[in-house]
Each structure stands twice: as structure tokens, then as C-alpha cells.
Structure 1
Amino acid sequence: MKRRDFITLCWISLATSMFFFFVFTDEKTVQNFMLTIVISFMYSFILWTGNALINDFLNKKFPWSEATTKRAILSIISILIANVIMVYFCNYMNFVVFQKSATTEEYFSGKYNFTNWFTINIALLISAFLHAKGFMEELKKTSKKEVVEQKLIAKSANAQFESLKNQLDPHFLFNSLNVLSSLIDENPKQAQKFTASMSKIYRYVLEQKDKELVTVEDELEFAKTYCELLKTRFEDSVDFVFDVKAENYRKLVVPLSLQLLLENCIKHNFATSSKPLVIKIFSENDTLCIENNLQVREQIKESSGIGLSNIVQRYALLTKRNVFIEKSEDYFKVKLPILSAKPQEINIKIDDENKAYERAQKRVKELKSFYGNLISYCIVIPALIIINLITSPDDIWFYWPMLGWGIGIAAHGMNVFAIGKSWEEKKIREILEKHHKF
């Protein structure tokens, strides 16, 4: 038990003992006052601590967030059994041991059945309050944990995506300058032409690198320009074949993916006029394929691994569809998923997530409303019972508000825990299905 809860329980016990001493005790003596305090503390600590221990044990073994239905059933069974045992023990200690107003035989003969029943109801109210309090605390912890986890995931994904995009600038520039350096010695005129083309291509790199997706058409136009650049250097040693269906032009791919894969083809394969490297770019079953005949060259230095791994990781952050790689003795092929979702549809998905969060907030408010109602019941009804027994013990009227409000709470609980809502949703689905049939 926490120190704050212990202090609160002490004050409640002291207030209860003073109330019973001044209202129900005939002989106002120090001995009776001390006895009342002992009895009050006994009831408070046994009933409160017992129910708190049961609640803590169930929280550890069967958390509300993981097994709600199972936890609810176990809570009901455990608190009923435990509270009956604790109440019979406390009343036995009170009437038989401390006050000596009854013998053990008289106590178990049924003389104190009403007292036991009344005390059990009070204990059940205390237990309901504790379980409601525990549920709300766990709900808050779970909500905070989920919010923190989602923020961390979003930040991590965003940082990872930015890091991957930032690899493109230096990677492209480094490779292009290497090509230009080779051309300056081999063919100065071609080097001038290459420089002019490179400036156009680099402009596209700067424009598109910060985008998550670009159209297949834009990426193909860029790839064709880049292929002309490569053709300037390799001439007849490299051939390019484009065969992409027009129906895929408005669909989406990761930007600069073709450029990175074309670089890989040149980098890892030798190309001569007698054995030209043939690179094919075509569409196949909702994928954009880049295939080349395999003419593996010996690597002088270890590959940086930026190209293909960059594409795979960027696709992984945007879609569940995978980048497929096929390799045989004759060819090497990479299949890029072609995505049909437009940026507007991505925003719709984000809106749907926001709506889901709003629904979750509404659900939390409904739960808080129910448990607020339950806690109020646990406080007000015992107060009404005490007032009734003090003012008119011969005229028992507290049953009516207890039953009426109790039925209201039961109906509220059925509605909040989707017993009523599931029936409503089922009827709505049935009506909609009939409507669609006609």
C-alpha cells in the first residue's frame, strides 16, 4: 500500500469511528471510544487492503488491456468470495471477540445475517470502487504508452526516410563526377555534352529527392535522359530497351529508383562493343522491372551498397509490398512495386487514423462517464443507507434509490461495454444488406 493511500485510509477510519461513537454509542467513555477506533480500523484495513491486494494481483496476472472479459469474470468471482469471507471474519471479531455481545454459536446461527448482508454490500461497493479506480489508472497508462510509442515510431520512420533521401545527393554527384573525369581524358567534346546533360539531370534530382513518390512517367523520362548520358560515354557498348505500358504511367514509384538501378547495372557489369550490356526497363504484373544480361566484372573495391538497399528501405517505409530481386546465370532483374495510391489517398489514410484516434478519445470519455457514475453510486448509496438507519430504522426506504440507480448503472454498463451497441450495429448491417439486395 502506498503511503498516501495509507494516510487516507487512516483518516477515513478515524472519521468513521468518531461518527459511530457519537451517534450509536450510548456510553461515551474513553474505553468505548478506543474500542470503536480499533473496530473501525479493523474493518477499514481488512476490507480495503484485502480488496486492494486482490485487485493488484489480478492487474499483474490478467491486465485489463490484455484480457478484459476474462479479467471482468475473475474480478466478480474473486471479490464475491473474498468479501463474504472478510465480512464474516470482521463481524465475528467485532461481535464475538471485542464487544462480546454474542457467542460463536449465536453468531453462526443466523442472528447476524442481516448485519452480514449489509456489511457485504458495503464491502462490494468498496471493491467496485477499487476495481474501477484500477481500471482507469491502467487505461491512462496504456493510452499514454501507446501515444508515446506511436510518436517514437513516427519520428524514427521520418528520420530514417530523411536519412535515406539525403544519401541520394552525394551518391549521384560522386558517380557522375567519376564518369565526367573519365570522359575528359577520353573525349573532351563528349565531356562538354555530358556536363550539359548532367546539369539537367541533377536539377531533376534536386526537385524529386524530397518527394516520397513520383509518377512512373516522370521517372521514365528522367531515366531516358540519364540513359542518353550513359550512351554518351559507352556508345555501342550499352543498349537500352524501354517497354512500359501506358496504363502504368500515372501510377507511382519511389523517385530516382531507376537511376540508382541503372548505375548498379553499369557498375557491376562490364560492357564492350562485342559484348554489349543490354538493359531492359519494362512493366510486368503491376511492377516496374529493370533487367540486364549478366556480365559480372571483378570489383576492384568493395561496393558501398547504397543503391539497391536504399530503394528497398524506402519502399519498406511506404508500403508492405516488397522489392523482388531475381538472379540467374544469364540475367539480373529487380522488380519495383508500382503503387496506385496517390498523395491525396495517403492523406485520407492519415485522416482515417485521426478519426480512429477521435473514436478512441470518445471511447475513453464513455468509460470515464460509466466509472464516474459507478463511483458516485458507491459513495451516495452507503450515505443514504446510514441516513435511513439513523433517522427511521423502522421504515426502510433506501432499497428504492439503490435498486433504481443500480438498474441505471447496469444499463449504462451494457451500453458502454458494447452489449447494446453491437446489437445496434448488427441491425444496421442487416438493414443495409437488405437495401443493397433491392
Structure 2
Amino acid sequence: MLQNNWRFLWMVLLGIVFSLLLHQVMDFPNDELKHQLFGMLESIIITVLIWEGSLRFERIWDKKFPWEQFPMKRVFVQLLAGSTYIALVMVVITQAFDSLVCPMPFDDKNKFFAIIFILAFLVSIAILSLEISFQFFRKWKQSLLEVEQHKSETAMARLENLKNQINPHFLFNNMSVLSSLVYKDQDKAVHFINQLSKVYRYLLDSGSCELTTLEDEMQFLQSYTYLLNIRYSPNIHFEINVSEEALKTYIPPMSVQLLIENAIKHNEISSAAPLTISIRSEEMWLIVENNLQLRSTVENGSGTGLKNICSRYQFFTDREPEIVATETHFRVEIPLLKAP
């Protein structure tokens, strides 16, 4: 429905048109100018009350019966309430004009009111049809925008994952660790290479997935945390406690890895200040928490890791990731999703 500043002009014009059509359809026994003018005024008042009342009812229905949640109930309620309201407005205003302003030139007024009620019902059907068409068109456009936004956000998240992992800095650190292991412990070096290959294999395999099981993510984290333990040992600790039920749920791929990377990027890791990262499930949430010991200087980054996680969740659930920072700990809680 029109809700702009020009709607009152449209109401006046529509009221005049409706009055003229009514004079053409019905056989008015006394078609004097006075009756025509009062008929136009009556029609304009009815149009204004119906239009403005419908707008206010629409706001109420939008809160109680949103189209996307209760489409059939919204159709039924809006049709019933709308036709009742429009009929009442038309009958009350018509009777008021007949009694107080200008008597209607009809002998059988009951027939006239019956015609008015039928017109009210038809007007309700027309308004509801336009409303449904408008709502579905708007939702269709919105769904297209959400699909494109989802593609964009997913692409950004994948790019962020690749930047965090498949970059010269990450590769250089792991190659440095590997080169030292080759001379010290060849068996461990072979195991390190195997775990490194699993990390890159998961990165490539999950690149086209919107969701992955928590079980697959935790298997990947075994390899990923192994690399981190070799690199930072004994100054980093991982505490993992995830239930069997939680392993069957879903999360966006690489979400936990981004949170671990975020903790390592912003916190000091040393023998005097070891970093402990806890990963645990609680009901339908996965909690990643670390002790807070911020670095004096932080590595440069785009700062979009946490934002990407939050934005990606918007496409799958109304539940939002929760971020809690205290003086001693930093915690991120991400929702666990049921099977898509």
C-alpha cells in the first residue's frame, strides 16, 4: 500500500473515481448535483478511513503474523478483519450521511446496504490480493539479495581462511619447524608432514562447503593443533571436551580454526605466560575460550575473522555467536546447528 506523502491526494482521487463509478453502476433516482457532491465527499471520507485504517492494521499484523512465518494465517486474519473493518466503515459512514447530512434517494435502503457490504468484501479481496502480491515480490527480491550476499560473505570467509593459512608466513613457520625436525627426529618430521598435508587437504575440501559436521572439524583440528603444539610447545595447551551428540551437529567450516588463530594472533605465548585454549560443547553451543594476555604489538590483519563467522551464521540461524571478554579471559560461543 502507498505510504508516502502523496497518499492523501491519491485517497481524494480514488474517492472521486469510486463515487463516479458507483453512480454509473447503480440507478440513482435523484441524481441532483447536491447528491453527487455529497456522494463524492462521502466516498472520499470512506476511502481515507479505509486506507489509513488498513495501514495501521497492517503494522499490527506485521508484528503478530509476519508473512514469512504465518502466510496462511495472515491471509485469513487480514481477509476477515479487513472485510469486517471496511464493511463497518462503509455502512457507518453511509448511515451517518443518510441520517445527518443528506438522505439517500432510495426507497429500499436495505438493498443499498447489502450492495455496500458486497462492495466492501470485494474491496477487501482486491486490497489483500495486492498486498499478497507485493509481499511475495518483496520477499523474492530479498531472497535474491540474500543469496548474493551469502555468496559474497562465503567468498570473503574462504579468502580469509586462505590468507590465514596458505600464505608465506604460515608456510615459512611450518617449513622452519620441519627443517629442524629433519635433523633432530626424522620420525616426528614424517608425522609432521602427514599432519600438514591433512591441514591443506581439509582447507581445499571444505572450500566449497557451506556447513561441515563438527566431527570433521575436530578431526581437522587434531592435525592443526598438532602443528601448533610442535611450533609453540610447551607454551601452548589445548583442552578439548566435546560430547558425542555435539559431534553430529554442523558449523561453518574453519570457524574454530579462525578462533584459535585469533587467540594466537592477539596473545603472548611464552614460558612465563603460556596460552591455554579451551574448546568445549555445552548443549547446542561450542565454546572457544583462552586466557587473556594481550601482546604489546599485534600482527597486522584485516580484522574480519570474527565478523565473517557472525555474518555466515546469519544465513543458517537466528542465533548469533556471542563474544564475552573479561579481564582474564576471552570467550566466543558459536551455535551448533542441526542437520540442514
Please indicate, yes or no, whether the TM-score normalized by the shorter chain is above 0.5.
yes
| Stretch of structure 1 that moved more, 306-315 or 50-59 | 50-59
Q: Aligned equivalents of 1:247 and 1:190: distance in 2?
A: 38
Partner amino acid, structure 1, of 2:242: V
In structure 2, list runs of 5 or more residues that go unmatched. Answer: 1-12, 59-80, 183-188
Q: Aligned equivalents of 2:163 and 2:47: distance in 1?
A: 62
Match of 2:120 in 1: 131
Q: 1:266 Cα shift?
A: 1.1
- Considering only aligned residues, what root-mean-square deviation do their CA atoms show, in Å? 3.6
Q: Aligned equivalents of 1:304 and 1:232: distance in 2?
A: 27
Q: Aligned equivalents of 2:151 and 2:45: distance in 1?
A: 50
Match of 1:318 in 2: 316
Match of 1:401 in 2: none
Q: What does residue range 23-422 of structure 1 map to in structure 2 within 5 Å?
A: 39-40=30-31, 42=33, 45=36, 49-63=40-54, 65-66=57-58, 68=82, 70-84=85-99, 88=103, 91=105, 116-118=106-108, 120-176=109-165, 177=167, 178-184=169-175, 188=179, 197-300=195-298, 303-339=301-337, 341-343=338-340
Relative contact order, higher structure (CA 8 A, sep 6+): 2
Q: Aligned equivalents of 1:46 and 1:165: distance in 2?
A: 63
Q: 1:159 Cα shift?
A: 2.5
Q: Aligned equivalents of 2:15 and 2:101: distance in 1?
A: 23
What CA deviation, in whole Å up to 9, does each residue of 1:220-257 have, x standing for no partner?
Answer: 11111211232343343322222212232112223211
Give the conservation status (yes or no) of the 8 Å contact 1:214–1:253.
Answer: yes
Q: Aligned equivalents of 1:229 and 1:266: distance in 2?
A: 13
Match of 2:72 in 1: none
Match of 2:62 in 1: none
Q: Aligned equivalents of 2:42 and 2:270: distance in 1?
A: 84
TM-score between the two structures when normalised by the length of structure 1 = 0.57
Give the conservation status (yes or no) of the 8 Å contact 1:168–1:209.
Answer: no
Match of 1:418 in 2: none
Q: Aligned equivalents of 1:210 and 1:53: distance in 2?
A: 59
What CA deviation, in whole Å up to 9, does each residue of 1:47-93 have, x standing for no partner?
Answer: 753553233121233117536355544443223222455662x64xx
Equivalent position SS for 1:321: coil
Give the conservation status (yes or no) of the 8 Å contact 1:287–1:337.
Answer: yes
What CA deviation, in whole Å up to 9, does each residue of 1:325-380 have, x standing for no partner?
Answer: 222232222122223x222xxxxxxxxxxxxxxxxxxxxxxxxxxxxxxxxxxxxx
Distance 1:133 1:302, change over 3 A: farther
Give the conservation status (yes or no) of the 8 Å contact 2:229–2:236.
Answer: yes
Identity %: 27
Match of 2:24 in 1: 12
Q: 1:180 Cα shift?
A: 1.2
Equivalent position SS for 1:318: coil
Give the conservation status (yes or no) of the 8 Å contact 1:294–1:332.
Answer: yes
Match of 2:71 in 1: none
Q: 1:183 Cα shift?
A: 4.4
Match of 2:8 in 1: none
| Stretch of structure 1 that moved more, 139-148 or 45-54 | 45-54
Q: 1:127 Cα shift?
A: 2.9
Partner amino acid, structure 1, of 2:339: K
Q: Aligned equivalents of 1:204 and 1:256: distance in 2?
A: 9
Question: Computing the radius of gyration over CA atoms, which structure comes out larger, 1 or 2?
Answer: 1
Equivalent position SS for 1:203: helix
Distance 1:162 1:84, change over 3 A: same
Q: 1:313 Cα shift?
A: 2.1
Q: Aligned equivalents of 2:147 and 2:206: distance in 1?
A: 17
Alignment coverage as a number of residue pairs: 295
Distance 1:162 1:223, change over 3 A: same
TM-score between the two structures when normalised by the length of structure 2 = 0.72
Q: Aligned equivalents of 1:184 and 1:215: distance in 2?
A: 30
